[in-house]
């Protein structure tokens, strides 16, 4: 049961002078909810809107969304909004008025970054209203298992859930799933959702993640996949059941894991990669070569130094991948794992600076009271010539989310994470702290490559910049400290 009902329909919101005040407006939707309006947030304005609802005509709002909204509200009711409230909201919406709602903190993106902001805010005692908006309909879930346990079929989809329903309910937030933000109006501190409804915020957190990049020629061909969502993973798994030959394009973390999982299912797999080694950009050439051997030993056919021109098909079904040199690599299932692009299209024209991500300062602020976290955030940009950093990894999403929650509540630190990722392939766990830049000197400091258990240090300009562990997890615990000590103090 929700204990607060943030304003649902505010007839005279235009009379509220400031966004701060607007965010503080709380409107009761129905008499039976009156008694559960939070008292700890001291509503400045309390109105019963029901009689006035037909008078609300927002010129900028899309009307006639009754059917969609009714359905969505019904779905919300199963996750967050109490049924009695949902019913009344649906009744209000039946007047063909797109609602305009206020929330103290709006988080767009309900994957691990967005959800963790909400959790960290509550953990730190934040008592204001929270709205979490997610484009997918599933409860927030974790993505690393999608290329491994879920694809292999060893985990049911539900196991990927980040938090269960009771834990989400305890966060006391409005969770709107299956809804996409389509526009941001910074001046009015308002976002528009794909159902035409608007949401006014005091603080906005952009956590929309990234989309899979694609290859030319893909459109409309059955058997071609990218993997980003739970649904993608389930679809690919379904296709792998009847696959005869799998081609994976791109030997980054995702491509290597998919290749390993597909081999584990007994399928013939070809992994095609333009660089000379798998995960070369992440591991360097020496460890990349060890990874190539691992895949070869397990029967993956590796086509390295092989750029791809596109996918090809016949009668609507993929037949293979055409390399840049003109060879067709045959496959009836093709997985394209060639990276991701930040999901920023909805922010076009918003005034936020977009440059392969939402450009943020070293406090992860994209603008006044607008933050970005996770894959979508390009943070630490301190000047026009500064590219900043964008990290697509699981641990950055949570660390950045915890940081941003603290900043929202008044901390003023600088976000300077030690990047970390891991990858599991053929019973090998690879862990990397920091990075292994091109040209770095890589030196095994413990164990050996031959023993298939080692820790390696990457040094650039005489400084430790990365630590790689290969089946050496317990040996990696000091890695972060070592890198912190080696980091420039600038």
Partner 1 sequence: MSTTREDATPHITVEDDRCVAAGHCVVAAPEVFDQREEDGVVVLLDARPPASARAAVHEAVLLCPAAAIRWGDGPS
Residue 348 exposed, middle or buried by CB count within 10 Å (0-12, 13-18, 19+): exposed
Structure tokens at 489: 């103090």
- Of 395, 441, 482, 486, the one binding partner 1 by CB under 8 A: 395
Q: Residue 432 CB, nearest distance to partner 1 (Å)?
A: 11
The 3-state DSSP class for residue 107 equals: strand
Tell me if 422 contacts partner 1 by CB under 8 A: yes
**Cα 425 from chain centre:** 22
Tell me if 425 contacts partner 1 by CB under 8 A: no
The 3-state DSSP class for residue 38 equals: coil
Going residue by residue from 146 to 185, which x/- string records binding to partner 1, judged by CB under 8 A?
----------------xx---x--xx--------------
Vertex 92, ends 86 and 96: CA angle to 5°? Answer: 125
Q: Residue 401 CB, nearest distance to partner 1 (Å)?
A: 8
Kind and range of the H or E run holding 202: strand 198-206
Nearest Cα to Cα of residue 438 among 264, 328, 275, 248: 275
Tell me if 424 contacts partner 1 by CB under 8 A: yes
**Cα 44 from chain centre:** 35
Structure tokens at 447: 């164990």
Judged by CB under 8 A, the number of residues near partner 1 is: 31
- Of 190, 263, 394, 457, the one binding partner 1 by CB under 8 A: 394
Q: Residue 391 CB, nearest distance to partner 1 (Å)?
A: 13
Tell me if 106 contacts partner 1 by CB under 8 A: no
Q: CA 422, CA 431: separation in Å to the nearest integer?
A: 4
Q: Residue 362 CB, nearest distance to partner 1 (Å)?
A: 20
Which range touches partner 1 (CB under 8 A), out of 52-60, 82-90, 117-125, 200-208? 117-125
Which range touches partner 1 (CB under 8 A), out of 111-119, 242-250, 285-293, 378-386? 111-119
- Of 227, 399, 454, 465, the one binding partner 1 by CB under 8 A: 399
Between residues 66 and 471, which has the closer beta carbon with respect to partner 1? 471
Q: Residue 120 CB, nearest distance to partner 1 (Å)?
A: 6
Structure tokens at 439: 């040209």
Between residues 124 and 245, which has the closer beta carbon with respect to partner 1? 124
Between residues 93 and 479, which has the closer beta carbon with respect to partner 1? 479
Nearest Cα to Cα of residue 135 among 71, 196, 68, 182: 182
Near partner 1 in 462-481, by CB under 8 A: 471-474, 476-477, 480
185 and 204 in contact (C-beta within 8 Å)? Answer: no
Vertex 59, ends 54 and 60: CA angle to 5°? Answer: 120
First-last CA distance in the chain:
49
Tell me if 38 contacts partner 1 by CB under 8 A: no
Between residues 160 and 270, which has the closer beta carbon with respect to partner 1? 160
Structure tokens at 46: 């309390």
Q: Which residues bind partner 1 (CB under 8 A)?
A: 112, 116, 119-120, 122-123, 142, 144, 162-163, 167, 170-171, 394-395, 398-399, 401-402, 420, 422, 424, 429, 431, 471-474, 476-477, 480
């Amino acid at each position: 049961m929700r204990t607060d009902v943030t304003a649902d329909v505010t007839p005279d919101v235009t009379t509220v002078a400031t966004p701060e005040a607007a965010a503080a407006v709380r409107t009761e939707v129905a008499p039976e909810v009156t008694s559960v309006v939070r008292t700890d947030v001291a509503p400045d304005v309390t109105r019963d809107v029901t009689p006035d609802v037909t008078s609300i005509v927002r010129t900028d709002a899309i009307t006639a969304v009754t059917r969609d909204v009714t359905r969505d509200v019904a779905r919300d009711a199963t996750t967050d909004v109490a049924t009695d409230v949902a019913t009344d909201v649906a009744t209000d919406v039946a007047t063909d008025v797109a609602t305009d709602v206020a929330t103290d903190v709006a988080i767009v993106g309900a994957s691990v970054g967005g959800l963790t902001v909400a959790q960290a805010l509550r953990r730190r005692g934040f008592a204001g209203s929270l709205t979490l908006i997610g484009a997918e309909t599933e409860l927030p879930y974790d993505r690393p298992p999608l290329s491994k346990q879920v694809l292999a079929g060893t985990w049911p989809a539900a196991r990927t859930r980040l938090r269960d329903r009771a834990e989400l309910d305890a966060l006391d937030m409005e969770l709107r799933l299956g809804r996409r933000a389509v526009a941001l109006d910074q001046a009015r501190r308002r976002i528009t959702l794909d159902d035409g409804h608007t949401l006014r915020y005091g603080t906005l957190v952009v956590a929309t993640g990234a989309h899979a990049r694609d290859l030319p020629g893909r459109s409309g061909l059955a058997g071609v996949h990218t993997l980003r969502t739970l649904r993608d993973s389930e679809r690919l798994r379904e296709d792998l059941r009847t696959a005869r030959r799998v081609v994976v394009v791109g030997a980054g973390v995702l491509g290597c894991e998919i290749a390993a999982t597909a081999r584990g299912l007994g399928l013939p797999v070809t992994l095609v990669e333009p660089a000379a080694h798998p995960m070369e950009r992440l591991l360097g050439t020496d460890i990349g070569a060890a990874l190539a051997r691992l895949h070869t030993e397990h029967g993956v056919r590796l086509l390295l130094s092989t750029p791809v021109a596109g996918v090809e098909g016949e009668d609507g079904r993929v037949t293979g991948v055409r390399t840049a040199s003109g060879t067709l690599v045959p496959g009836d299932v093709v997985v394209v794992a060639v990276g991701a692009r930040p999901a920023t299209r909805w922010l076009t024209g918003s005034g936020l600076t977009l440059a392969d991500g939402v450009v943020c300062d070293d406090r992860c602020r994209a603008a006044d009271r607008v933050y970005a976290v996770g894959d979508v955030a390009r943070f630490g940009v301190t000047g026009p010539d500064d590219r900043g950093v964008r990290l697509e990894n699981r641990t950055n999403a949570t660390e950045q989310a915890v940081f941003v929650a603290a900043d929202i509540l008044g901390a003023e630190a600088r976000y300077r994470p030690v990047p970390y990722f891991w990858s599991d392939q053929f019973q090998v766990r690879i862990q990397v702290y920091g990075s292994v830049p091109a040209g770095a000197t890589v030196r095994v400091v413990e164990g050996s490559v031959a023993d298939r258990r080692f820790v390696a240090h990457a040094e650039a300009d005489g400084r430790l910049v990365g630590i790689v562990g290969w089946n050496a997890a317990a040996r990696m615990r000091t890695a972060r400290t070592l890198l912190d000590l080696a980091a420039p103090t600038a």
